[in-house]
Structure 1
Amino acid sequence: MRLYRIALWATVPIALPLLAAPAGVTAARAVRDTAPEGPLSVWQPEAAAQPVVPVVDAASPFPALGAASMALPRVVPRPAIVSRAQWRADETKRDPHAHYAGGVRAVFIHHTDTPNGYDCADVPRTLRNLYTGQTRDRSWGDLGYNFLVDKCGTIYEGRAGGTDRPVVGSHTLGFNQGTTGIAAIGTFGPGAPVPAAMEHAIAALAAWKLGLGDVDPAGKVRLTSTNGKSRYAKGTSAEFDAISGHRDGFATSCPGEALLARLPAIRTLAASLQGRLSPRTPSGTRFAVSLGSPRRGGE
Structure 2
Amino acid sequence: MWRPRLALAVVCLPLAVLMRWGAPAVDSGAPPRAEETADRPAAPRPYVVPRVAWGADEQMVREPPAYVDRVRAVVVHHTDHVNGYDCDHVPALLRGLQRDHIESEGWDDVGYQYVVDRCGTVYEGRGGDGAHTVRGAHTKGFNKETVGIAALGTFDEGTHVPRAMLDAIAAVAAWQLDPGADPHGRVRLTSTNDASRYPKGAGAAFDVITGHRAGYETDCPGDALAAKLPLLRDETERLRDAAERRRG
TM-score interval, normalised by the smaller of the two chains: 0.7 to 0.9
Partner of residue 137 from structure 1, selected from 99, 104, 109: 104
Q: Offset of 1:238 from its aligned partner?
A: 1.1
| TM-score, normalised with respect to structure 1 | 0.68
Residue pair 2:42, 2:179 contacting (<8 A) in 1 also: no
SS at the partner of 2:75? Answer: strand
1:20 aligns with 2:17: yes
Match of 1:119 in 2: 86
Q: Deviations over 1:215-246 (max 9, x none)?
A: 22222111100111211111111111111000
Match of 1:209 in 2: 176
Q: Deviations over 1:132-179 (max 9, x none)?
A: 111122220100000000000000000011455231111001001011
1:141-220 equivalent positions in 2, closer than 5 A: 141-210=108-177, 212-220=178-186
Residue pair 1:21, 1:87 contacting (<8 A) in 2 also: no
| Matches of 1:50 and 1:83, distance apart in 2 | 18
**Residues 190/173 of structure 1: CA separation in 2 closer, same or farther (3 Å cut):** same
SS at the partner of 1:244? Answer: strand
1:78-117 equivalent positions in 2, closer than 5 A: 78-117=45-84
**Residues 92/269 of structure 1: CA separation in 2 closer, same or farther (3 Å cut):** same
Q: Offset of 1:213 from its aligned partner?
A: 3.6
Paired residues in the alignment total: 215
1:249 aligns with 2:212: no
Q: Offset of 1:207 from its aligned partner?
A: 0.3
Residue pair 1:149, 1:201 contacting (<8 A) in 2 also: yes
1:260 aligns with 2:226: yes
Match of 2:235 in 1: 269
SS at the partner of 1:252? Answer: coil
| Matches of 1:271 and 1:157, distance apart in 2 | 23
Q: Offset of 1:208 from its aligned partner?
A: 0.4
What amino acid is aligned across from residue 207 of structure 2 in structure 1? Answer: D
Residue pair 2:192, 2:201 contacting (<8 A) in 1 also: yes
Match of 2:12 in 1: none
**Residues 19/273 of structure 1: CA separation in 2 closer, same or farther (3 Å cut):** farther
| Matches of 2:108 and 2:194, distance apart in 1 | 21
Which protein is richer in helix relative to its size? 2
Unaligned runs of 5+ in 1: 1-17, 23-48, 55-71, 277-299
Give % identity: 49
Q: Offset of 1:249 from its aligned partner?
A: 0.3
SS at the partner of 2:59? Answer: helix
Match of 2:8 in 1: none
How much is the aligned-residue C-alpha RMSD, in angstroms? 1.9
